[in-house]
Amino acid sequence: MDKVAVVTGGSKGIGLATARTLRAEGARVVVASRKSSAELDALAGPGLVHLPVDLTDPEAPAAVVAHAVDVFGGLDVLVNNAGGPPPGVSLPRFSFLPLTDGDWREMFDFNLFSAVRACRAAIPVMVERGGGAIVNVSSAVARQPGTMNVDYSAAKAAMTNLGKALSEEFAPQGVRVNTVSPGPVRTPWWTDEGGAADVLAAAFGSDREAVMEQVAPEAMALRTGRLLDPQEVADVIALLASPRSASTTGADVLVDGGFHKGV
């Protein structure tokens, strides 16, 4: 894959696995995130660079696209992976009523508007280049909302809708836009101290390892019986970004361990 790619939120979890996979496939990669990580530093080199940015800054997504053009000469692939809990926020949250307007704004800034701004910057570059591929990382809860994390679910539902709309407008100009909707993935969102595993352990009177190994998979009726591995999502992202998916656009691909039950 002799392409130039941008991966947002690429210092850990799904984004890190995606950056590693795209680089292994031959793409030159710009990773955008607030901070790097030891794992990302190990990948850095002439074909992979890190740009430290706060993607909730309205100017940051365009700066990332411009950096890819400056360093590698263009942009062919955009993976809008940044998302999850905004800085300083612990998820899950269990009710709608305590959420303030500020909570909603923070959630949408991080999970939707960062992608909107990145697409706005990337699409003209891709069109001028003759085409490209955008993969937006949404969530299975965009299709199957519940009482937890209602603001996050709503932001991801908007992300899924965005992908469909952009595909409709820009596929005739050679820009494919697809969405990947993961279920629960064993990432730092779950495993960090104070993360989802600890929050759920306190709520269910369990411990963090039991939550990740048994409680959460059972509560979410994951038919595979386990949380996902980030690489399993990254592999689908890489496929949708590649020429092997040349006729796939406007799709929303679930990678969720059987969480979503609807037809």
Q: Is the pLDDT of residue 31 over 90?
A: yes
Give the pLDDT confidence score for residue 241 in this predicted structure.
98
Helix (H) or strand (E) holding 31: strand 28-33
pLDDT digits (tens, 9 = 90+) for 59-89: 999 999 999 999 999 999 999 999 999 998 9
Q: Are the C-beta atoms of residues 13 and 189 closer than 8 Å to each other?
A: yes
Catalytic one of 152, 170, 190, 259:
152
Would you give the DSSP letter of residue 247?
Answer: T
Rounded to whole angstroms, how far apart are CA atoms 37 and 240?
Answer: 26
| 187, HSE (Cβ side, Cα atoms, 13 Å) | 25
pLDDT digits (tens, 9 = 90+) for 137-188: 999 999 998 899 999 999 999 999 999 999 999 999 999 999 999 999 999 9
Give the pLDDT confidence score for residue 263 in this predicted structure.
85
* Residues 176/181/186/187 CA torsion (nearest 10 deg): 50
Q: Which of 178, 93, 133 is nearest to 5 (CA)?
A: 133
Give the pLDDT confidence score for residue 55 in this predicted structure.
96
All structural domains of the chain with their residue ranges:
4-184+228-255, 186-227
Rounded to whole angstroms, how far apart are CA atoms 68 and 10?
Answer: 14
In angstroms, the first-to-last Cα distance of the chain is 34
Answer yes or no: CATH 3.40.50.720 is held by domain 4-184+228-255: yes
Beta strands at 4-8 and 28-33: parallel, antiparallel or unpaired: parallel
Rounded to whole angstroms, how far apart are CA atoms 244 and 223?
Answer: 29
Confirm whether 152 is a catalytic residue.
Answer: yes
pLDDT digits (tens, 9 = 90+) for 179-237: 999 999 999 999 999 999 999 999 999 999 999 999 999 999 999 999 999 999 999 99
Rounded to an integer, the average pLDDT of 86-111 is 96
Give the pLDDT confidence score for residue 18 in this predicted structure.
98
Q: Are the C-beta atoms of residues 238 and 202 closer than 8 Å to each other?
A: no
Structure tokens at 78: 């955009």
Structure tokens at 51: 């740009």
Rounded to whole angstroms, how far apart are CA atoms 161 and 133?
Answer: 17
Q: Are the C-beta atoms of residues 11 and 37 closer than 8 Å to each other?
A: yes
pTM over 0.75: yes
3-state class (DSSP) for residue 70: helix
Give the pLDDT confidence score for residue 145 in this predicted structure.
87
